[in-house]
Chain A
Amino acid sequence: MKNRSAVSNTIASALVVVMIIAGVGGYYLGSQGVAPAATTVTQVAATTLFQTVTITTQMPTVTTVTTKTAVTTVPTVTITTTTGPKLKDTLVMGTTDSVEVNLDPAEAYDFFGWEIIMNTGAGLVDIAPGTPYNAGIKDITPALATDWTASADGKTYTFNLRQGAKFYNGREFTADDVKYSFDRNMGLAIEEGPQVGIGYSDIIDSVEVTGKYQVVFHLKIPFSPFLNLMAAQASYIVNKDIATTAGPVNYVEGDARKSNPNDLGPYVLSSWSRVAGKDNEMRLDANPNYWAKAAGLPMTPHVIIKFYADATALGLAVRSGDVDIAFRQLLASDIESMKTDPKVKVWQGTGAFIQYMLFQEKIPPFDNPKVRQAISAALDRKEMVDTVFLGQAEPLYSIIPKGMMGNTDKFKELDKDTAKAVSLLKEAGYSETNKLKVEMWYESSGHYPQSPDQAAVYKAQLERTGLIEVTLKGADWPSYRQNRNAEIMPVYVYGWYPDYVDPDDYAFLYWAAWIHHNYENPEAVALYDQARAISDPTQRSQLYAQIDDIAVRDCPVAPLYQGSAFAVTSPQVDGLVLDISQNFRIWLLFAKL
């Protein structure tokens, strides 16, 4: 008995000693520079950048932000280096995102899935980096197509293709690949995929190969945002050796090549591990066959992506130097405090994510436009943005966000105007003794940024009129969705980010049936269809302005705010572009040693 006890005692002590030694050893190792901070183990010889290559890119609409002032725009930057600064050849990126289903353009319909498709694949056209305002045709740049023409009726688009572009396995890219990609992706018609969601088959009639390097798209309707749609990741070209017509390409454990049908882009996804249905690690390596390789792209040959549980953990990781770049999602308060932290650099850019308040017209009195207008007028969007998002978002006065053609200030008429709210409410029959009772719902599980805080501010603002009494109700995302479909939430807040960068992908939100707020207006729909069919930006803007006029009059939806895009990096990182396209172009990132 004594012996046995002595043994367990020894084992116990040994375990403690091992833990301590290992801990100290780990610390020692850490201080030797194995893991964090700027030192890297796998550091290979640093690359010399641009041997006498001149790169002209539209550079960031973004700059390091240390104050709350507006973002500076640097229109064009020319980097010409013959000797070149020494650059890091590996960057580590952190995110809280994860690929939701797969990386097949026929099925992927989530932000991060599209981010990886964009960085490993290519479409016919691209959106120029740093496109901040009035995104339109002029911002579309060549990618796999070198030039294109549209017919006068807007129903035929002819693309001349880049010659000599190669897939990763060496096969040449030709017009057949374009036809194959569209026929396959639309033909698979995956219910949850973007082609069905956006309605590709309502737009595209057929794709015709007219030469080895020429392809013609025949459209069913004149569709002015067509080039923008071609720049969306759902229109990227797949490698038919991987993406068959049998079904979508899904994640294959231990085989990143077979998991990703996109390989015409700057990077190749060379490893991808998922643990329990969530991404665990990804490695991107420069694509040796990339068609823009001569321009020195991608800037950094190796990128590792690591996945964090939540915004707090990601914020801590970038602060401690565990990752070089943190993108999506970070807390507003973290970003605010990191702005003054010399160990990191905060990047701010235009965001395309918007949130808006909806009124359930099936539930009285929200069928009364006066009540809806009164609520919108009682809101102070600027105050909400400043208190909740610490100024890291912008008030929104139209359903079309700032930075995009068609954006107006029309809802300023129904903003921060308590007197107007009061008079509208009185017209609708409310008084101090007979207050309007509003049951306002918000999403409480973090699907939208800081929803409970937003809701608290809206409540205070509405109650400031003295004629409204707000009851707040929270529901987690699954319940919220169910309530939305059941049409039981009188007032609720919803969000949207675009499929393609065009007002066409926003304006319909005023009456979208799937949001279930039961607003219909044939007049607005007619204007929308008209805007869809013409290509002149001025005319289109006017039509969207008319839609906004109707929206202000009927107030089916009250636009709230537009989120800004943020990334935090180590101070050495440069080349980051956050623009209205929402494209996170990893191939432009680099860091000086």
Chain B
Amino acid sequence: MSLRSYVVARVLLTIPMILLLLTMVFLIIRVMPGDPADLHFEKRVDPETLAAFKQRLGLDKPLPIQYVDYVAGLLTGNLGSSMQDYSPIGQQIFSAFPATLELAIYSAAFAIIVGVLLGVRASRSYNSIPDHTIRIFGIVSYAIPVFFLGEVLIMIFGIYLGWFPTGLRFSPRMDAPQGLQLGGWRLATGLYTVDSLLEGNLTKFLESVRYLFLPVLALGTVLCGIFIRMTRSNMLETLRLDFVTSARARGLKERAVVYAYALRNAFLPILTMMGLQFAALLAGAVLTETTFSWPGLGRYLVARITFRDYTAIQGTVVFYGVIVALVSLIVDVLYAYLDPRIRF
């Protein structure tokens, strides 16, 4: 199978996967007690009004009809409207997603870089003090809940030292980065670090980094534990292999042996782990966003669940599903690049 037909097959496989996910979410939220129509009314409501409202949302229809209606909407690219404020779900998701994406990118980068470097370092000094220290750090950081670590970091760096803000995404006293302005045309990614640079405003860039720092440190630290352990054990195995010994025998520098030879060979399982961890990253982002008042998709999802906003919950989960599928596809394609022996 060529790479192209593999990608096509994978994309096609994604469809039943998303559909299955959607069906499960659709049923689970309807089994949960709570009624979006009733919750829509802040205080008093009479039964007739409630019935009329249910009819408007289509909640009076039988479940299978509701399901078909929703899926039909999805196929035409319509994620529906919120059951609480009627705004289009697609628009809401896209207004919140850049914040989550920015947090996810930097946290993943932090976790992978720190995790792999520490893992390699530990494997090079097997069973010595640095190895033990790194291993303990790896176990502790993996075990620690992200919201707890987040609060601790806020207490130390936000309150006690006052170096970093305790929450939010950008300083209330500055305008948010606008991206590149060219006449009436605007190029903006929604990622504040990128937009501030596009705008050419270094102060805003440093400010957005200052706000990113603690959430990224918290989420990145929690995620890096698994990479430390994975890298370390794979490296230990790889470093024992013959090709490493022969590379050393040929007089290559130790750095080159470790990073260029051994790490590349040990990297495949780590890459798999990256793909798998992406879902964990998004889940962790939900908690991190709440701890740091980060206005992202995770916070949105939590808020919508408390309103039993069916369409919003379904839309967000489908969106998450697509993202996770996309990332695992990218990881699979990267395999071929890293290991030429792999054919699809």
Binding site for B on A (CB under 8 A): 1-2, 5-6, 9, 12, 15-16, 19, 22-23, 25-27, 29-31, 34-37, 40-42, 90, 92, 100-102, 109-110, 191-192, 196-197, 251, 274-278, 280-281, 304, 306-310, 312-313, 316-317, 319-323, 445, 475-479, 481-483, 485, 499, 512, 514
Interface residues of B in 302-344 (CB under 8 A from A): 303-304, 306-308, 312
Q: Judging by beta carbons under 8 Å apart, are B92 and A22 in contact? A: no
Can you name 27 A-B residue pairings with CB atoms under 8 Å? A12-B117, A19-B110, A26-B209, A27-B164, A29-B206, A29-B210, A34-B173, A41-B171, A41-B173, A100-B42, A101-B85, A110-B42, A191-B53, A197-B41, A275-B96, A275-B295, A276-B295, A277-B82, A277-B87, A307-B293, A309-B294, A310-B293, A313-B293, A320-B166, A322-B165, A445-B306, A514-B45
List, in ascending order, chain B residues with CB within 8 A of A100's CB.
Answer: 42, 84-85
List, in ascending order, chain A residues with CB within 8 A of B308's CB.
Answer: 478
Q: Judging by beta carbons under 8 Å apart, are A313 and B166 in contact? A: yes
Contact with A along B62-97 (1 / 0, CB 8 A): 000000000000000000001011010000110110
Q: Which residue of B lies closest to A191 (CB)?
A: B49
Q: Judging by beta carbons under 8 Å apart, are B39 and A30 in contact? A: no
Q: How near does chain A come to B34, taking the closest CB pair, in angstroms?
A: 2
Q: Judging by beta carbons under 8 Å apart, are B289 and A2 in contact? A: no
Instruction: Give the docked Cα–Cα distance between A107 and B49 (Å).
Output: 15
Interface residues of B in 115-168 (CB under 8 A from A): 116-117, 151, 154-155, 158-159, 162-168
Query: Does residue B218 face the partner (Cβ distance < 8 Å to A)?
Result: no
B167 touches which of A34, A109, A309, A321 (Cβ 8 Å): A309
Contact with A along B196-221 (1 / 0, CB 8 A): 00000001011101100100100000
Q: How near does chain B come to A249, taking the closest CB pair, in angstroms?
A: 13
Q: How near does chain B come to A327, taking the closest CB pair, in angstroms?
A: 15
Instruction: Give the docked Cα–Cα distance between A90 and B171 (Å).
Output: 14
List, in ascending order, chain B residues with CB within 8 A of A304's CB.
Answer: 172-173
Binding site for A on B (CB under 8 A): 32-36, 38-46, 49, 52-53, 82, 84-85, 87, 92-93, 95-96, 99, 106, 109-110, 113-114, 116-117, 151, 154-155, 158-159, 162-168, 171-174, 203, 205-207, 209-210, 213, 216, 256, 259-260, 263-264, 289-295, 297, 299-300, 303-304, 306-308, 312
Q: Which residue of B lies closest to A6 (CB)?
A: B260
A308 touches which of B34, B38, B293 (Cβ 8 Å): B293
Q: Judging by beta carbons under 8 Å apart, are A316 and B164 in contact? A: no
Q: Judging by beta carbons under 8 Å apart, are A92 and B172 in contact? A: yes
Q: How near does chain A come to B103, taking the closest CB pair, in angstroms?
A: 13
Q: Judging by beta carbons under 8 Å apart, are B165 and A275 in contact? A: no
Q: Judging by beta carbons under 8 Å apart, are B163 and A191 in contact? A: no
Instruction: Give the docked Cα–Cα distance between A306 and B256 (Å).
Output: 51
Q: For B106, B206, B299, which residue has the most chain A Cβ atoms within 10 angstroms?
A: B206
Q: Which residue of A lies closest to B294 (CB)?
A: A309
Q: Which residue of B lies closest to A40 (CB)?
A: B173
Q: Which residue of B lies closest to A486 (CB)?
A: B33
List, in ascending order, chain A residues with CB within 8 A of B33's CB.
Answer: 475, 478-479, 482-483
A15 touches which of B109, B167, B172, B295 (Cβ 8 Å): B109
Q: Judging by beta carbons under 8 Å apart, are B85 and A309 in contact? A: no
Q: Judging by beta carbons under 8 Å apart, are A26 and B206 in contact? A: yes
Q: How near does chain B come to A333, taking the closest CB pair, in angstroms?
A: 14
List, in ascending order, chain B residues with CB within 8 A of A192's CB.
Answer: 40-42, 45
Q: How near does chain A come to B314, taking the closest CB pair, in angstroms?
A: 15
Instruction: Give the docked Cα–Cα distance between A307 and B290 (Å).
Output: 12
Q: Judging by beta carbons under 8 Å apart, are B209 and A320 in contact? A: no
A313 touches which of B53, B99, B167, B203 (Cβ 8 Å): B167
Q: Which residue of B lies closest to A283 (CB)?
A: B172
B300 touches which of A101, A276, A483 (Cβ 8 Å): A276
Q: Which residue of B lies closest to A477 (CB)?
A: B306
Q: Judging by beta carbons under 8 Å apart, are B174 and A16 in contact? A: no
List, in ascending order, chain A residues with CB within 8 A of B312's CB.
Answer: 277
Q: Judging by beta carbons under 8 Å apart, are A514 and B173 in contact? A: no
Q: Judging by beta carbons under 8 Å apart, are A321 and B162 in contact? A: yes
List, in ascending order, chain A residues with CB within 8 A of B174's CB.
Answer: 34, 41-42
Q: Which residue of B lies closest to A43 (CB)?
A: B173
Instruction: Give the docked Cα–Cα distance between A278 and B297 (Å).
Output: 11
Instruction: Give the docked Cα–Cα distance between A25 and B299 (Å).
Output: 29
Q: How near does chain B come to A285, taking the closest CB pair, in angstroms?
A: 14
Instruction: Give the docked Cα–Cα distance between A481 and B308 (Å).
Output: 12
List, in ascending order, chain A residues with CB within 8 A of B46's CB.
Answer: 514
Q: Which residue of B lies closest to A279 (CB)?
A: B295
A5 touches which of B49, B263, B299 (Cβ 8 Å): B263
List, in ascending order, chain B residues with CB within 8 A of A312's CB.
Answer: 151
The answer to whether A317 and B84 touch (CB under 8 A), given A35-B210, A276-B93, is no
Q: How near does chain A come to B16, taking the closest CB pair, in angstroms?
A: 28
Q: How near does chain A come to B40, taking the closest CB pair, in angstroms?
A: 6
Instruction: Give the docked Cα–Cα distance between A37 and B163 (Å).
Output: 11
Q: Judging by beta carbons under 8 Å apart, are B53 and A15 in contact? A: no
Q: Judging by beta carbons under 8 Å apart, are B209 and A23 in contact? A: yes
Q: Which residue of A lies closest to B93 (CB)?
A: A276
Instruction: Give the docked Cα–Cα distance between A191 and B49 (Å).
Output: 7
B34 touches which of A26, A197, A479 (Cβ 8 Å): A479
B165 touches which of A19, A35, A196 (Cβ 8 Å): A35
List, in ascending order, chain A residues with CB within 8 A of B173's CB.
Answer: 34-35, 40-42, 90, 92, 304
Q: Which residue of A lies closest to B91 (CB)?
A: A253
The 7 A-B residue pairs with the shortest CB-CB distance, nearest first, are A478-B34, A26-B210, A276-B96, A479-B33, A276-B300, A22-B209, A309-B293
Q: Judging by beta carbons under 8 Å apart, are A476 and B306 in contact? A: yes
Instruction: Give the docked Cα–Cα distance between A310 and B162 (Å).
Output: 20
List, in ascending order, chain B residues with CB within 8 A of A275's CB.
Answer: 95-96, 99, 295, 300
List, in ascending order, chain B residues with CB within 8 A of A41's CB.
Answer: 171, 173-174
List, in ascending order, chain B residues with CB within 8 A of A22's CB.
Answer: 205-206, 209, 213
List, in ascending order, chain A residues with CB within 8 A of B116's CB.
Answer: 12
The answer to whether A12 and B113 touch (CB under 8 A), given A5-B259, A277-B92, is yes
Q: Which residue of B lies closest to A481 (CB)?
A: B38
Q: How near does chain B come to A305, taking the closest CB pair, in angstroms?
A: 8
B171 touches which of A9, A34, A307, A485 (Cβ 8 Å): A34
Q: Judging by beta carbons under 8 Å apart, are B154 and A277 in contact? A: no
List, in ascending order, chain A residues with CB within 8 A of B289's CB.
Answer: 309
List, in ascending order, chain B residues with CB within 8 A of A323's CB.
Answer: 172
Instruction: Give the docked Cα–Cα distance between A12 and B116 (Å).
Output: 10
Instruction: Give the docked Cα–Cα distance between A22 and B297 (Å).
Output: 25
List, in ascending order, chain B residues with CB within 8 A of A317's CB.
Answer: 165-168, 293
A320 touches which of B41, B109, B158, B256 (Cβ 8 Å): B158
Q: How near does chain B come to A486, taking the closest CB pair, in angstroms?
A: 9
A316 touches which of B39, B44, B158, B216 (Cβ 8 Å): B158
A30 touches which of B82, B99, B163, B303 (Cβ 8 Å): B163
List, in ascending order, chain B residues with CB within 8 A of A445's CB.
Answer: 306
